[in-house]
Amino acid sequence: MAYTPQYGPGTSTVAENRRKQMNPNNKLEKVRDVTDEDVVLILGHRAPGAAYPTAHPPLAEAGEPDCPIRKIVTPTEGAKAGDRVRYIQFADSMFNAPSQPYQRTYSYSYRFRGIDPGTLSGRQIVECRERDLEAYSKFLLETEMFDPARCSVRGATVHGHSLRLAEDGMMFDMLQRCLLTGDGNVKYVKNQIGEPLDREVNVGKPMDEGWLKAHSTIFHSLVGVPYRDDQEYVEYVQRIHSLRTKYGFMPKE
Amino acid sequence: MAKIERAQKLFLDSLKEKFQGEDPEAVNTAFYRFGGLAQSPRKQEFIKASKAVEMQRGISMYEPVRCHLGGIPLGQRQLMTYQVSQSGVFVEGDDLHFVNNSAMQQFWDDIRRTVIVGMDLAHQTLQKRLGKEVTPETINEYLHVLNHAMPGAAVVQEHMVETHPGVVDDCYVKVFTGDDAIADDIEPQFLLNIDKLFPADQGASLKAAIGKGLWQAIHIPTIVSRTCDGGTTSRWSAMQIGMSYIGAYRMCAGEAAVADLSYAAKHAGVIQMASILPARRARGPNEPGGIKFGLFSDIIQANRKYPKDPARASLEVVGAGTMLFDQIWLGSYMSGGVGFTQYATAAYTDNILDEYTYYGMDYVKDKYGVDWANPSPGDRVKASQEVVNDLATEVTLNAMEQYEQFPTLMEDHFGGSQRAGVIAAASGLTCSIGTGNSNAGLNGWYLSMLLHKEGWSRLGFFGYDLQDQCGSANSLAIRPDEGLIGELRGPNYPNYAMNVGHQGEYAAIVGGAHYGRGDAFCYDPRVAVCFADPSLKFDFAEPRREFAKGAIREFSPAGERSLIIPAR
């Protein structure tokens, strides 16, 4: 019997949104346009138009060893070219940012190849080959997984995910890498590690509260869906915990 | 998941003081307007002090405006003050780093410089091997000699150097026993009087457990253990004990029986506060990583002072434990730097963990009839998986909801590791106090972690991925290669050795099981008696209050050196 992923339990909209983001067969809505050059500027790893720095020669020239694993795994474009490994890191507000750290990791794992995600409370990083990264980053910035006010691309100094929102609805950022400007758009004035950009990068208008709540992947009893209300979700976690406990106590059972 | 109502929110006073003029339930606020470091008197003091240091030594030092993030100093948001929980004292965060807090230093000094050494083996050597008479008079005389020698004075030889009493004034030895007749014969200045120090039921229990043995509670000079290490404590004490026996009982300094006394004082009759650590941790005995959680809960004396409030007693262990294990052990011994303080203080400031824990107490009483304010093994709820799941789930959900309902509370605990540790601690404490079973408490901790992670799609830093997601499976395993009863676990237990925000709370969960049962001790009655000593510099019944005193610079530590350095 073929295994069919279920992408997690739960009857709430939060649970359903989580499944939608994880399920690679579900096409996520494209909400905004961010150009390739703008993605490169925000990432700050290379100058737009510059060649990709390499960590090794292209695989086609490298003379790979006779390795059964290499025959099974098709290299990504970045790996083929020998790109170095770089990163994008997001901070996501607990006030209904459309994606959240573990949710990102789970979703990336289902949707992307050749990645190394890391999950913390205030940030989530993913590392991969540079040209793959740029493609993934474009997807992450343009789709419903991103909101310009509640999500932020931050390589360092990520403090903000749990803080109250600023008066204009933006998540706190000590470096103020992006600003809500007079035309209603959020524009990056610094790259993800806080180096000033030569020009602003427009990532569009913040989504409204109704949209954010409808697309949220975090339970929140004040601004969203209370965790307590999704009984199936809670009972699922209890079940996992109970099974693990019993196995550790008496593995024969 | 039947939520109960608690009208009183213990953290609200702190939130109102920290975020003055702001609605603690509001979602929005203003940032970037606080003037950076100018908002903090302590940071201003640092700048001034640094300038004086730079002028004197000619080397640059504290330059936050230049060096922090290339010109963006701390304080783009409000730099918060903190109330040390249940102390009523508000302090600056900087003052809770152990370098800036003499009470925290003394807390650890007082543990590291302590060993307990039995007298019975030595007395048998004296009586059976040497034919010496041991009487109450000789014991008291020996204690006079020992209290002369232990700080570093000579008792046998000519032309010896000695230590300045003013520099080692915190060094002394007292004794204790479970035998009233023996205790009556000891000079009061040398006796830890169990009857006077403990509530009657605890005293009776301790005396029964200790029996007729006579034990020395030894505290070597703070300055010695600081200059050397925890492994020094038993060596220093054993040397002075040996010399004191020689002097008090007129022994030959070189006779073979001295070896028996040395063996007893260094090995056979010694209770170290912490066991030696494996080579990869590179620490000797009496260093923080070797303290078993059960023993640590006996060091902390809040259960003696608040026997009817096991939650309070446990919360004092949390405060003391996070300070020692997070700030000093993991934060400096094992890691270095200053970041760990921020994790640890979350568990003992602003009455947040206190509120969550008392919610758990109310819940366990409301649903299971456990009268938590009258500790007793008789009315604890049976530690089944269902009960643990129910208690941990409800306490976790409540705590998450409090953070959600009060955005300033979330902002107070701005880090996921802070919140994870606090929520899981309240869950674990509710389970351990409610059931009287430390492993049930640990199991509740791990369910809390899983619930938290799934609810908010985040937990703590990377390390939580391992420890807290495999903890369910080892919380009830007791085979030595897989698990232990909570009392025997410690900071060096597999999987516990790397994560801030856990070890102090685990110790409290272990202690809570016993405090909930009304036990007089958790692991070793001798340790419980040793740290009940009112002569100690640090009051182990009130660690959080003592830390607050250190923060506001009202704590007087040992280790005075002004006698031997130039006057400033």
Among B407, B459, B483, select the one facing A164 at the smallest CB separation: B407
Which chain A residues are within 8 Å of B476, Cβ to Cβ?
245, 248-249
Q: Is A233 exposed, middle or buried (0-12, 13-18, 19+ CB in 10 A)?
A: buried
Q: Do B138 and B264 lie in a common domain?
A: yes
Q: What is the ipTM of this complex?
A: 0.97
Query: Is B514:B521 a contact under the CB 8 Å cutoff?
Result: yes
Spatial separation of the C-alpha atoms in residues A34 and B547, rounded to whole Å: 52
Q: Do B247 and B228 lie in a common domain?
A: yes
pLDDT for the residue B480: 65
pTM above 0.90, yes or no: yes
A196 touches chain B (CB under 8 A): no
Please count the structural domains in chain B: 3
Residue B511, domain CATH:
1.20.840.10
B483 touches chain A (CB under 8 A): yes
Q: Do B139 and B62 lie in a common domain?
A: no
For residue A252, pLDDT over 80 is answered with no
Which chain A residues are within 8 Å of B416, Cβ to Cβ?
120-122, 162
Gap from B54 CA to chain A (nearest CA, Å): 29
**Is B268 a domain residue?**
yes
Range of the domain at B127: 113-272
Candidates B62, B463, B469, B495; catalytic one: B463
Gap from A80 CA to chain B (nearest CA, Å): 30
pLDDT for the residue B308: 98
Q: Which two tokens stand for residue A35?
A: 């150009």
Q: Which two tokens stand for residue B49?
A: 């002090």
Q: Is B463 a catalytic residue?
A: yes
The string of DSSP letters for B363-416 reads HHHHHH---TTS--STTPPP--HHHHHHHHHHHHHHHHHHHHH-HHHHHHT-SH
The residue from B250, B272, B294 where one domain ends is B272
Over residues A87-91, mean pLDDT: 98
Query: Is B540:B459 a contact under the CB 8 Å cutoff?
Result: no
Spatial separation of the C-alpha atoms in residues B98 and B83, rounded to whole Å: 16
Q: Do B222 and B88 lie in a common domain?
A: no
Within the 32-71 window of chain A, which residues sit less than 8 Å (CB to CB) from chain B?
none
Q: A165, B28: Cβ pair inside 8 Å?
A: yes
Could you report the per-residue pLDDT of A138-152, keeping only the tens digit for each? Answer: 999 999 999 999 999
Q: Is B71 a catalytic residue?
A: no
Which chain A residues are within 8 Å of B69, Cβ to Cβ?
157, 174-175, 194
Residue B64, domain CATH:
3.90.390.10
SS3 content of chain A, % helix, strand, coil (to 5): 35, 15, 50
Gap from A74 CA to chain B (nearest CA, Å): 29
Q: Is B471 a catalytic residue?
A: no
Q: Do B255 and B380 lie in a common domain?
A: no
User: Using the 8-state DSSP alphabet, how is residue A223 labeled?
Assistant: T
Gap from B449 CA to chain A (nearest CA, Å): 10
Which chain B residues are within 8 Å of A96, Cβ to Cβ?
none
Over residues A184-200, mean pLDDT: 97
A212 touches chain B (CB under 8 A): no
Q: Do B22 and B158 lie in a common domain?
A: no
B64 touches chain A (CB under 8 A): no
pLDDT for the residue A150: 98
Q: Do B127 and B89 lie in a common domain?
A: no
Which chain A residues are within 8 Å of B397, Cβ to Cβ?
227-228, 234
pLDDT for the residue A253: 55
Q: Do B233 and B294 lie in a common domain?
A: no
pLDDT for the residue B313: 98
pLDDT for the residue A17: 98
Q: Is B58 a catalytic residue?
A: no
pLDDT for the residue B397: 98
Among B411, B451, B475, select the one facing A163 at the smallest CB separation: B411
Which chain B residues are within 8 Å of A226, Cβ to Cβ?
401
Residue B208, domain CATH:
3.30.70.470
Q: Which two tokens stand for residue B185?
A: 């014969």
Chain B residue whose CA is closest to A98: B457
**Is B539 a domain residue?**
no
pLDDT for the residue B514: 98
Q: B417, A121: Cβ pair inside 8 Å?
A: yes
Q: B29, A234: Cβ pair inside 8 Å?
A: no
**Domain with residues A13-249, CATH architecture:** Alpha-Beta Complex (3.90)
**Is B106 a domain residue?**
no
**Is B4 a domain residue?**
no
Q: How many CB pairs under 8 A join A and B?
A: 154
Q: Which two tokens stand for residue B397?
A: 């959900």
pLDDT for the residue B2: 73
The residue from B272, B301, B316 where one domain ends is B272
A223 touches chain B (CB under 8 A): yes
Q: Any bridge partners for residue B215, and if so which?
A: B118, B176
Over residues A161-186, mean pLDDT: 97
Side-chain half-sphere exposure of A146, counting CA atoms within 13 A: 22
Parse chain A into domains and list their residue ranges: 13-249
Q: What is the pLDDT along chain B (568 residues), one digit of tens a residue?
A: 578 888 789 999 999 999 999 999 999 999 999 999 999 999 999 999 999 999 999 999 999 999 998 888 899 999 999 999 999 999 999 999 999 999 999 999 999 999 999 999 999 999 999 999 999 999 999 999 999 999 999 999 999 999 999 999 999 999 999 999 999 999 999 999 999 999 999 999 999 999 999 999 999 999 999 999 999 999 999 999 999 999 999 999 889 999 999 999 999 999 999 999 999 888 999 999 999 999 999 999 999 999 999 999 999 999 999 999 999 999 999 988 788 999 999 999 999 999 999 999 999 999 999 999 999 999 999 999 999 999 999 999 999 999 999 999 999 999 999 999 999 999 999 999 999 999 999 999 999 999 999 999 999 987 787 889 889 998 988 776 677 899 999 999 888 887 889 999 999 999 999 999 999 999 999 999 999 999 999 999 999 999 999 999 999 999 889 999 998 7
The residue from B237, B272, B307 where one domain ends is B272
Q: B1, A231: Cβ pair inside 8 Å?
A: yes
Q: Do B470 and B387 lie in a common domain?
A: yes
In degrees, rounded to 5, the angle at the alpha carbon of residue B391 between the alpha carbons of residues B390 and B396 is: 100
The answer for residues whose C-beta is within 8 angstroms of residue B259's C-beta and 6 or more apart is: none
Q: Which two tokens stand for residue B505?
A: 């709370």
CA dihedral defined by A61, A62, A64, A69, rounded to 10 degrees? -90
Q: Is B523 helix (H, G, I), strand (E, B) or coil?
A: coil
Spatial separation of the C-alpha atoms in residues B531 and B517, rounded to whole Å: 21
Candidates B343, B359, B403, B506; catalytic one: B343
Select from B15, B389, B458, B474 the residue whose CB has the most chain A CBs within 10 Å, as the one to mutate to test that interface. Answer: B458
Q: Do B242 and B340 lie in a common domain?
A: no
Query: Is B394:B449 a contact under the CB 8 Å cutoff?
Result: no
pLDDT for the residue B125: 95
**Is B546 a domain residue?**
no
pLDDT for the residue B410: 98
pLDDT for the residue B1: 59
Q: Do B128 and B36 lie in a common domain?
A: no
Chain B residue whose CA is closest to A239: B389
**Alpha carbon of A38 to those of A49, A177, A202, A203: distances in Å?**
11, 14, 8, 9
The one-letter code for the residue type at B212 is K
pLDDT for the residue B322: 98
Q: Do B293 and B394 lie in a common domain?
A: yes
Gap from B30 CA to chain A (nearest CA, Å): 5
Candidates B240, B492, B499, B503; catalytic one: B499
Chain B residue whose CA is closest to A12: B455
pLDDT for the residue B414: 97
B342 touches chain A (CB under 8 A): no
A195 touches chain B (CB under 8 A): no
